Structure 1
Amino acid sequence: MAERRSSSGKTPPFGTAVTDVADIAIPRGFTTKDFTALRAYVQRIAPAIIARTYYDPDEDPHAATPAAMERYLKAMLDTLVQLALAHGSAALAEHLRASIRQHGQPKLTAVTFRMVTEAAQLAAAAPHAEHPVGAWLRPRLARRLKGEGIATLGELVAFCNRRGPSWWRSIPRIGRGRARAIVSWLRKQQANLQLTVEIDIDSEERDGVPLVADEVVEVVPESYIEGGASWEKKRLTLAPLERLSVPYSLSGADGENRSTAFCYIKANHDLDAVRAYLNRFRDQPKTLRAYTKELERFLLWAVVLRGKALSDLRVDDCEAYKDFLKNPDPRFVGERFARHSPRWRPFAASTNGSASLSAESQRYTVRVLRTAFTWWVDVRYLGGNPWKAVNDPPVIKRERAMQIERALPAALWRKLRGELDARCLDKDAAQRRESKSGVQWRAVRAAILLMGDSGLRREEAANARRENLRPSPYGTLERPVWELTIVGKGQRERTVPVSAATLNALRAHWLDRAQDFDRATEADLQSGPLLGPVVIPWTDASRRRHRAVGQGSEGRQASEVGYTADGLNRLISRMVTELVETMTDLSLGERVQLGGVNAHAFRHTFGTQSVADEVPVDVVQKVLGHASLQTTTIYVQAEKQRVVEEVARYYAGVPAGKVAR
């Protein structure tokens, strides 16, 4: 390995001598091969052999002759010994002095050589965030980091903080032990690097969750934060509601707006009141998640940026928060992380780094907060509701309540179904279980047909279960019909028809899961999610989610866990992207249209196609689960618009799939 040199040809001010444990180098003008060569010299290997083995005489003049090689190694050894005498332990220093008195020079063993190199670290040049990783880490490790785009120590710290405790998983051949050693060294060098390694990086875990997730975090107003070390940037301490604590003076225990009448809830402070309100929605997980997000954002803003308790806020404070929503403080914005991570932020950054909420989202936030404050007044926790005097943000009334432009036209819908059928076929039954690609395509086909033929939302498809799917009593032998009962939006139960093509797709998908879709009798009805992963990813999150699954009396899973709505959406998006890139019979226009499809688009496809085939609008309304017939008529308008567009294309003489200019 050639020695790294600067543009002037001299050895750079920091080299790369390594320790045996942590892959961390000692910057003292010596390279990795210098220390390897010196170790060989201590073990009595001849200088001539060392020169031939570790150096190139053309690039390393000190290796031109055995004598020059020996002089170089002796000088290096003297340098390290002097550093060890000055910075090593008293026992090591005494041992080295005794060896020098007896032999005229230190006689080192493998053990004492290691002690000398470790002591020399104390006199090493301090690392800096701009230093390349190769100056401090072993060459092979540095190359792997550079392969991930990590060139400097500062970028390494940022990478660890951005990825969290599992930062090392994406880097080849860096295991947990080596990652722990690197993070340990980075923590010791935080002051030199003027960077902070997040607290949960390489922290102890229980069931895959860092123990730091159990810690309560006290948030304080911005004005309370002291600079600390000069290199630390002013940073806000933020935490989600379940880990949140605030100082007593900002807790609302003595809030100005607290009601003097008897309170119907047991709430000593604002956090108790917030949790009592959210507890009302414990059986509505989506609503609970949405309201929790809005209330914790407002509470954090009030305490950290406004310096007030929730029960101290007045109308002008509410107006200020309404303005805050238009352009949130950058310190409240970040990438999406788990709620137990210290990198979690109340607002998620978009692709351009902004977190500005749309006018519709701003209005939704104001209405959620107004409703929550109204409830606190009703239960006599607060004396009044300042949000009643705040106007909703102005919102442009959209021409359409739903964006249904992504619905597929009939021709493209037929092409997609045919392509899915083709990719789901295996040459023989034995190949079925071995073809991972076929397994994924069969799962995607079942999901797409369930939404595209029955008009299900992605949450409804993810929660659909086999025990709720049965033959309809209104079907015939010639035209058999199955029915699926689901609980949809607003906790409304409805029953939708299921096509024969969807049933066949579900049977194939269940066979991949080693289950018999049709093994169902009145006494023993097959149960389980209609859609479920065949292979469980080997990650902590996946194992935790599927760990509680027991074994039934016949050896099958007693309570199988299916896809989540987000997991189903990711699977469909990934496979549709592959179709766009690999299908050969698509025009440019069709390729663009299919590329813009998401999971919900197949529900819209059912709406537009069923209306186009003259299915009565009231029937489509019941299948889709719309509360209002007016919502369903949007699909009628969409079909009319498509007819006009197609005829206009015909008038202009533009071939199908082309765009008129």
Structure 2
Amino acid sequence: MTDHAGQLTFPPPRTYTRTDFAALRALVQRVPLRTIARLYFDADTTPYHDDPAQLERHLRAMRDDLVHLAQLHGSSVLADHLKASARQHGSARLTAVTLRMVEDASRLAVAVPRATHPVGLWFRPLIAKRLTGEGITTLGELVACCNRRGGSWWRAVPRVGLLRARILVAWLRRHAGTLGVTVDADVDAAEPLAAPMATHVALVPAGCQTAQGGPLAPLERIELPHRLCGGEGPHGTGQRGVNRAPGLCYLQARHDLDAIRSYLHRYTDRPQALRAYTRELERLLLWAVTERGTALSSLSVDDCDAYKAFLTAPAERFTGPRTARSSPRWRPFAPSGLTPGSQKYAVAVLRAAFDWLVKVRYLAGNPWAAVTDPATDTSEYAIRVDRALPLQLWTKVRVGLDERSGSLGPSGPQWRAAKAAILLMGDSGLRITEVTLARRERLSYLSADGDIPAGWTLQVLGKGRKQRSVPVSTATLAALRAHWADRGLDFNDPPATAPLIRPVTIPPTPAAQRRHVDASPEAAGYSINGLRGVVSWAFGQLQGTLDLTDDERRHLAGSTPHALRHTFGTQAVAASVPPDVAPEVYPHLWQGRQSHAAGVVNCARWC
């Protein structure tokens, strides 16, 4: 972006953009035309890269227009100077100083940005290309993206960092009057991902809300209304839930929030379960207070049935894109809603949580016991062959990873980290959570024993805190060694508790600093979302550069890290591992029976 005037109209239909102004300054400073075309103009939309003479004609015509405007609207001294220069040289010759004076004089004819204008009309080609690559083609769409995603909107656009995002937001706000839309006030907070966690949000009960509804917040920031807290609230106020058990309660819980926290505390040593159960309970609590107008400890069977129906199509104000829990734009549901399987899982989690609350005598009964599970198709719960990468596509992905992981450029370390993670999931069948928790001390070399060849195995902690050993391929081991070299560590002499995969460069955000810098060296690896972002980034880059068919490109575009686990399962089945060997090598895979005819593995617990 430049610091001067925007689109200039003189005479219609000839127009000049901010990019044109920057290019004209470069011409005045005697920068070669080919360099100007490369720096300021997009090769896909302008002919200037192949025809510098046309660029020169364009810029000289612009210069003449500016000079004419300056003669009309500028000072008499400037006009006399330009006329004298034109008489002497045939056309006015400009220096860097006189060009600035001409631009200032021409501002009276400057057009204003509109919401319908393409981003390329106002921003440099590189920024415009990155925005359009994410479907943001106009200034209005850019404002909508900022307001929809909040202060971290720039994370959805590759290589648009926080500082450049703030410049863009400031420019959009400066021209809000002509755009007709404006960026919300909280979009460019000092740190968009770290709003004060101590800031509690008071939920507004149903019936007391505005047309847009009341605010929503995650469990750790919720403040319940006194009459809907289910027990003793602040200063001794509150209303006891109608389903509260009489007599002694085994919990030191004053209200529903305390009871929920006591239940979740049982899973502090199981992070994945804790996240899942927290998500389901906070969704129910938010719905009960803001939609149903009742306390959690007052829910009836009818209320629970209504919530089950709500899960099929959550209200719009309950949905939003993924963002930090500290963000005011956090929402409990994704825009796509829940699949039937996820709805069934939610009901099962809530039924189990209420069962426990009944056992500890916080609740008198469990209304979820009378609620049937949502209807789902359970005819075959198996490895999804359609989600797995076909062998040919998987081979191309591996070749692409090999080529790019050898890069010595700035993206090389990230490619090597992505390759190590992808191969751990695709060759060893690890879940993404297991990759983030994997430690070097759990990776060991086993010598040959009879018919069993030597190799490396990794002990991982899976679902239900069950430990298992998985084989690590030679390619995966080489990728891990390369990744460790980027980290400046000796793979054969690892530090204690060092994670197998860890970011090489720590982002300068408070959350990242707390997680990595403030912790002991090498103690923290990737977060689940962080590693998912690395894998998604690699898939996106490969999708645009590999020689793929249309079907392969669509398949890779829709692939997730978990698809690699399905890939591992289908490839293992295709390899026809003998039944007497499979349980020893892949005990986590062959818990069910192998079905060669269907080409799938009937093992729900594997996924």
TM-score (normalised: structure 1) = 0.64
The Cα offsets for residues 34-63 of structure 1, whole Å up to 9 and x where unpaired, read as xx999987xxx769569989xxxxxxxxxx
1:597 & 1:157 partners in 2: Cα distance?
Answer: 29
2:585 & 2:347 partners in 1: Cα distance?
Answer: 33
Tell me which of 143, 168, 172 is aligned to 2:122.
143
Tell me which of 488, 493, 513 is aligned to 1:543.
513
Q: CA deviation at 1:344?
A: 1.4
Local SS of the residue matching 2:480 = helix
Match of 2:205 in 1: 221
Cα root mean square deviation, aligned: 4.6
Match of 2:500 in 1: 530
| Structure 2 residue runs without a partner (length 5+) | 13-66, 85-104, 232-239, 603-607
1:514 aligns with 2:501: no
Match of 1:346 in 2: 332
For the structure 1 residues 618 and 198, does the alpha-carbon distance in structure 2 shift closer, same or farther, using more than 3 Å as the test? farther
1:598 & 1:258 partners in 2: Cα distance?
Answer: 43
Local SS of the residue matching 1:224 = coil
For the structure 1 residues 4 and 470, does the alpha-carbon distance in structure 2 shift closer, same or farther, using more than 3 Å as the test? same
1:569 aligns with 2:539: no
2:399 & 2:171 partners in 1: Cα distance?
Answer: 53
Local SS of the residue matching 1:347 = coil
For the structure 1 residues 339 and 478, does the alpha-carbon distance in structure 2 shift closer, same or farther, using more than 3 Å as the test? closer
For the structure 1 residues 415 and 293, does the alpha-carbon distance in structure 2 shift closer, same or farther, using more than 3 Å as the test? closer
The Cα offsets for residues 420-454 of structure 1, whole Å up to 9 and x where unpaired, read as 445444xxxxxx7x334544443333333333333
1:260 aligns with 2:246: yes
AA aligned to 2:359 is: D
Match of 2:289 in 1: 303
Higher mean C-alpha deviation, range 405-414 or range 237-246 = 405-414
For the structure 1 residues 545 and 623, does the alpha-carbon distance in structure 2 shift closer, same or farther, using more than 3 Å as the test? farther
The Cα offsets for residues 295-353 of structure 1, whole Å up to 9 and x where unpaired, read as 11111111111111112221111111111112211121222221112211121102xxx
Say if 1:257 and 1:382, in contact at 8 Å, map to a contact too.
yes
AA aligned to 1:235 is: G
The Cα offsets for residues 191-221 of structure 1, whole Å up to 9 and x where unpaired, read as x999897563444559x6233x421111112
Local SS of the residue matching 2:254 = coil
Say if 1:611 and 1:620, in contact at 8 Å, map to a contact too.
no
1:241 aligns with 2:222: no
Say if 2:447 and 2:454, in contact at 8 Å, map to a contact too.
no
For the structure 1 residues 528 and 583, does the alpha-carbon distance in structure 2 shift closer, same or farther, using more than 3 Å as the test? same
2:557 & 2:120 partners in 1: Cα distance?
Answer: 39
AA aligned to 1:275 is: R
Local SS of the residue matching 2:122 = helix
Any residues of structure 2 matched to 1:60-79 within 5 Å, and which?
A: none
Say if 1:618 and 1:629, in contact at 8 Å, map to a contact too.
no
Any residues of structure 2 matched to 1:123-522 within 5 Å, and which?
A: 134=113, 143-144=122-123, 158-166=144-152, 170=160, 176=166, 200-203=186-189, 209-211=194-196, 213-226=197-210, 234-253=212-231, 254-350=240-336, 355=337, 357-408=338-389, 413=394, 416-418=397-399, 420-425=401-406, 434-475=408-449, 479-519=453-493
AA aligned to 1:392 is: D
Q: CA deviation at 1:492?
A: 0.7
Say if 1:519 and 1:526, in contact at 8 Å, map to a contact too.
no
Structure with more contact order per residue of length (Cα contacts < 8 Å, sep ≥ 6): 2
The Cα offsets for residues 73-108 of structure 1, whole Å up to 9 and x where unpaired, read as 9xx9xxxxxxxxxxxxxxxxxxxxxxxxxxxxxxxx
The Cα offsets for residues 227-279 of structure 1, whole Å up to 9 and x where unpaired, read as xxxxxx53321111111112111111211111112011011111111111111
Local SS of the residue matching 2:207 = helix
Any residues of structure 2 matched to 1:568-647 within 5 Å, and which?
A: 568-584=531-547, 597-617=559-579, 619-626=581-588, 629-630=591-592, 633-634=594-595, 637-638=598-599
Say if 1:161 and 1:343, in contact at 8 Å, map to a contact too.
no
Higher mean C-alpha deviation, range 196-205 or range 371-380 = 196-205
2:241 & 2:601 partners in 1: Cα distance?
Answer: 58
The Cα offsets for residues 354-407 of structure 1, whole Å up to 9 and x where unpaired, read as x2x222222211121111111111111111111112111222223243313444
The Cα offsets for residues 174-207 of structure 1, whole Å up to 9 and x where unpaired, read as 5758957976997xx9xx999897563444559x
- How many residue pairs match? The answer is 500
**Larger Rg belongs to:** 1
Q: CA deviation at 1:473?
A: 4.4
2:591 & 2:288 partners in 1: Cα distance?
Answer: 42
Say if 2:149 and 2:329, in contact at 8 Å, map to a contact too.
no
1:180 & 1:144 partners in 2: Cα distance?
Answer: 13
Match of 1:651 in 2: none
Q: CA deviation at 1:640?
A: 10
1:441 & 1:509 partners in 2: Cα distance?
Answer: 9
1:168 & 1:405 partners in 2: Cα distance?
Answer: 32
Higher mean C-alpha deviation, range 164-173 or range 383-392 = 164-173
Say if 2:350 and 2:368, in contact at 8 Å, map to a contact too.
yes
1:332 & 1:562 partners in 2: Cα distance?
Answer: 32
1:155 & 1:390 partners in 2: Cα distance?
Answer: 43
2:601 & 2:208 partners in 1: Cα distance?
Answer: 61
AA aligned to 2:475 is: A
Local SS of the residue matching 2:594 = helix
TM-score (normalised: structure 2) = 0.69
1:396 & 1:639 partners in 2: Cα distance?
Answer: 17
Local SS of the residue matching 2:266 = helix
Local SS of the residue matching 1:223 = coil
Q: CA deviation at 1:479?
A: 4.2
